[in-house]
């Protein structure tokens, strides 16, 4: 008996010690910032940055993953030929230093920056760019960005020619998202690329530690052609629970955080410790209505009644603590070049909704099925608010909460009645093409069959808008499209999300709508 108890004690001790030891080695902790020490001028300047992401990190292959968590790091480590500034919409040179467009708008000539080099020290060769465009086309999550590219060829050692199948206004935006990878490294790692450290990017930071469950570490690339970054080390740590993340931020474990909206007022008030900023994101959340789901929803008057029953104000309060921006526009107004006056909008008007319902032949109400939403977060809240409003005007429906991952399959296969969803729009109104054109099988959520809609006309307008290079004409086309589209009463834009950034007051940051560029930050 005694032997056994000794054995047990030893076993427990060993597991305890090994536990502490190994975890300490695996996860080098940043010395949590002591708020007092920063007041003394002798305190050494920090060079590291601790950030969090809400989901586990999946892959460092920028052609495989477009998950938001991964993109946070991609933005620091990979670059395209150009970079589109999220705030201004301007294109800034990166791997390419300049570009020219041919008369017909189908040929782009990119002059490469001679100083651009990969993290392993090799200069960027035209073959790497050709390889990266080809590889992107083979990877479905980013293939749409190069779908219109006909050919990529090397003109001379420092010039690349990209030929398009048709002129396309949004090409530059799409092209900025095609990250250039080092052909040799990617081919060497083969199927393993994405799962471990690889020096295949050209950005201001390189991967130094890749651990999908615990987090990633990036180090500043000292040879970066625009000059080495001020902040030398960035750690990304997955924290799924927003409240827990905020506690971690307040404890100094994180330096910059997207705060839960419920706690915003407290954080704003605490000016001696934190700085805060609200930045509108590129994200629009919408309700989509499936006109083929049932006879009631097939009736345009019922759909319009639903449109007038959407209480965006209440959704903003419940879902975003009143901080977000209510919108009637499919694309975030702040980042579009085709800004126009809206023709058809759906304001919250329960009386009008009831009238429309009566006009549709359902004065005593009707059952329209279910509102589908993913569990948790603001979508669920928006769905709950709409559920109540619909019931108040006599439209009966259920709420159907499903896993985030199941939402898009259901949308694709038209397996829903009403659904709430949203998209981040990069670039301008032409982004509507990738969401609503009938050729985009993976992205169309409503089938505009000819019985009720002029689907061909909707498609034609999107196509015309995509190739029109003249800004004024584009605006006209998109205005016509938008009116037609809104008249179908199949998709109601509601909220333009905002990012509620909060950060350590000693950190100098530039906040963007979606992804930070930590190269511009410093302590």
Partner 1 sequence: MINRKTCPMEDNSQVIYKKPSQLKEIARRMKKNKPAVIGLIILTIIILMVLFAEHIVPYKAAITQNVKNRLEPPSGVHWFGTDGYGRDLFARCLHGGRISLAIGFSSAAFSAILGIILGSIAGYYGGFTDGALMRSVDVIAAIPSILMALAVVAALGASQLNLIIAVAFSRTPAIIRVVRTAVLSVGDQEYVEAAKAGGTSDFRIIYKSILPNCIGPIMVQVTMSVAQNILAAATLSFLGLGINPPTPEWGSIISESKEFMRTANYLMIFPGLLIILSTLSLNLVGDGLRDALDPRLKT
Partner 2 sequence: MWRYLFRRCLLIIPITLGVSFIVFSIMAITPGDPATMILGIGGTQEDIDRINQELGYDRPFLVRYGDYLYKAVVKHDLGTSYQFKTTVWSNIKQRLPVSVKVTTFSLLIASMVGVPIGVLSAVKQYSLFDTFPTVLALFFAAIPTFWLGMMLMLVLSLKIPIFPATGIASWKGYVLPSLSLGLPFAAQQLRFARSSMLETIRQDYIRTAKAKGAPENIIIWKHALKNALMPIITIIGINFGLILGGAVATETLFSIPGLGSMVVTGIKMKDIPMVMGGIIVLSIICSLIMLIVDLLYALIDPRIKAKYSRGRRAAI
Residues that bind partner 1 (CB under 8 A): 241-243, 260, 262-263, 266, 314, 317-318, 375-376, 380-381, 383-385, 387-388, 398-403
The residue among 303 and 437 lying less far from partner 2, judged by its C-beta, is 437
- Within 45-84, the residues that bind partner 2 by CB under 8 A are 56, 58-59, 61, 64, 66-67
Which CB, 159 or 263, lies closer to partner 1?
A: 263
Candidates 178, 157, 169, 194; CA nearest to 58 is 194
Using the contact rule CB under 8 A, the part of the chain among 218-226, 346-354, 438-446, 459-467 near partner 2 is: 438-446
Residue 447 in the binding site for partner 2 (CB under 8 A): no
Q: How far apart are CA 88 and CA 495, in angstroms?
A: 21
Q: Are 282 and 85 in contact (CB under 8 A)?
A: no
Report the residue number, 144 or 263, with the smaller CB distance to partner 1: 263
Binding test (CB under 8 A) with partner 2, winner from 102, 115, 120, 404: 404
The nearest distance, CB 443 to partner 2, in angstroms, is: 6
Residues 6+ apart with CB under 8 A from 188: none
Residue from 6, 23, 165, 471 touching partner 2 (CB under 8 A): that is 23
Q: Which is nearer to partner 1, 318 or 460 (CB)?
A: 318
Task: Single out the segment in contact with partner 2 by CB under 8 A; choices: 8-16, 174-182, 284-292, 348-356.
Answer: 8-16
Q: Which helix (H) or strand (E) holds 112?
A: strand 107-112
Which one of partner 2, partner 1, none interacts with residue 288, CB within 5 to 8 A by kind? none
Nearest CB to partner 2, comparing residues 440 and 520: 440
Number of residues in the chain? 523
113 vs 316, beta carbon nearer partner 1: 316
- Residue among 310, 279, 280, 282 at smallest CA distance from 429: 282
Please answer whether residues 108 and 151 qualify as being in contact, where contact means their C-beta atoms are separated by less than 8 angstroms: no
For partner 2, the closer CB: 106 or 497: 497
What mask of x and - would describe binding to partner 2 in positions 344 to 383, judged by CB under 8 A? ----------------------------------------
Structure tokens at 139: 């990877």
Give the tokens for residue 161. 């020619």
φ/ψ bin of 31: left (φ > 0), alpha (ψ from -120 to 50), beta (otherwise): beta
> Considering the rule CB under 8 A, would residue 437 count as an interface residue with partner 2?
no
Which 248-267 positions form the footprint of partner 2 (CB under 8 A)?
A: 248, 250-251, 253
CA distance 302 to 98: 52
Q: Helix axis angle, 471-487 relative to 455-467, nearest 10°?
A: 160
Which residue of 99, 340, 348, 423 would you call a contact of partner 2, by CB under 8 A? 423
With tokens 């991952």, the residue in question is: 405
| Residue 184 interacting entry, from partner 2, partner 1, none, C-beta within 5 to 8 Å by type | none
Give the chain's end-to-end CA distance (angstroms, integer): 60
Burial (Cβ within 10 Å: 0-12, 13-18, ≥19) of residue 37: exposed
Rounded to whole angstroms, the Cα distance separating 429 from 331 reads 6
Two tokens at 372?
Answer: 């589908």
Binder among 154, 211, 463, 480 for partner 2 (CB under 8 A): 211
With CB cut-offs between 5 and 8 Å by kind, which of partner 2, partner 1, none does residue 19 bind? partner 2
Nearest Cα residue to 383 out of 301, 311, 283, 332? 311
Site for partner 2 in 309-348 (CB under 8 A): none
Residue 384 C-beta: closest distance to partner 1, Å: 6
Residue 64 interacting entry, from partner 2, partner 1, none, C-beta within 5 to 8 Å by type = partner 2
Listed residue (413, 378, 385) closest to 399, CA to CA: 385
Sign, Cα dihedral of 184, 185, 186, 188: positive
Closer residue to partner 2 in complex, CB, 440/522: 440
> What is the C-alpha separation between 406 and 397, in angstroms, rounded?
20
Binding stretches for partner 2 (CB under 8 A):
1, 4, 12, 15-16, 19-20, 22-24, 27, 29, 56, 58-59, 61, 64, 66-67, 140-144, 191, 194-195, 211-214, 237-241, 243-245, 247-248, 250-251, 253, 403-406, 408-409, 412, 423, 440-443
């Amino acid at each position: 008996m005694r032997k056994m108890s000794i054995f047990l004690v030893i076993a427990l001790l060993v597991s305890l010690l090994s536990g502490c030891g190994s975890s300490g080695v695996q996860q080098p902790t940043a010395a949590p910032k002591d708020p007092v020490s920063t007041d003394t001028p002798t305190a050494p300047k920090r060079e590291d940055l601790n950030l969090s992401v809400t989901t586990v990190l999946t892959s460092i292959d920028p052609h495989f993953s477009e998950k938001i968590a991964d993109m946070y790091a991609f933005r620091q480590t990979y670059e395209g030929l150009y970079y589109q500034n999220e705030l201004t919409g301007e294109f800034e040179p990166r791997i390419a230093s300049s570009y020219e467009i041919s008369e017909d708008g189908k040929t782009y000539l990119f002059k490469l920056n001679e100083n651009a080099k990969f993290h392993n020290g090799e200069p960027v060769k035209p073959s790497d760019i050709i390889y990266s465009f080809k590889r992107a086309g083979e990877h479905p999550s980013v293939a749409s960005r190069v779908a219109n590219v006909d050919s990529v060829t090397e003109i001379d050692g420092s010039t690349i020619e990209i030929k398009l199948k048709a002129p396309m206004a949004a090409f530059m935006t799409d092209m900025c998202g095609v990250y250039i990878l080092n052909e040799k490294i990617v081919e060497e790692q083969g199927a393993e690329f994405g799962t471990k450290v690889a020096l295949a990017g050209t950005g201001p930071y390189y991967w130094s530690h890749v651990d999908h469950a615990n987090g990633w570490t990036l180090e500043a690339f000292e040879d970066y052609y625009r000059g080495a970054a001020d902040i030398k080390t960035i750690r990304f740590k997955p924290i799924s629970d927003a409240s827990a993340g905020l506690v971690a931020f307040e404890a100094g474990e994180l330096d910059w955080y997207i705060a839960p909206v419920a706690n915003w007022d407290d954080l704003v008030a605490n000016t001696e410790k934190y700085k805060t900023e609200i930045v509108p994101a590129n994200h629009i959340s919408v309700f989509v209505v499936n006109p083929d789901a049932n006879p009631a929803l097939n009736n345009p008057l019922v759909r319009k009644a639903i449109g007038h029953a959407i209480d965006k104000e209440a959704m903003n309060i419940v879902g975003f603590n009143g901080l977000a921006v209510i919108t009637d526009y499919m694309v975030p107004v702040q980042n579009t070049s085709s800004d126009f006056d809206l023709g058809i909008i759906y304001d919250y008007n329960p009386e009008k909704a009831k009238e429309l319902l009566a006009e549709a032949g359902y004065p005593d109400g009707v059952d329209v099925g279910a509102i589908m939403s993913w569990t948790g977060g603001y979508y669920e809240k928006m769905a709950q608010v709409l559920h109540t409003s619909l019931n108040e005007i006599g439209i009966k429906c259920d709420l159907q909460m499903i896993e985030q991952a199941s939402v898009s399959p259901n949308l694709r296969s038209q397996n829903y009645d009403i659904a709430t969803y949203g998209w981040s729009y990069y670039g301008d109104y032409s982004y509507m093409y990738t969401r609503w054109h009938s050729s985009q099988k993976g992205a169309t959520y409503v089938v505009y069959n000819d019985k009720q809609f002029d689907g061909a006309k909707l498609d034609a307008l999107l196509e015309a808008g995509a190739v029109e290079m003249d800004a004024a004409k584009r605006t006209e086309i998109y205005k016509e499209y938008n009116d037609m589209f809104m008249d179908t009463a199949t998709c109601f834009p509601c909220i333009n999300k905002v990012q509620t950034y909060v950060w350590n007051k000693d950190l100098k940051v530039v906040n963007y709508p979606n992804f930070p560029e930590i190269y511009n930050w410093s302590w």
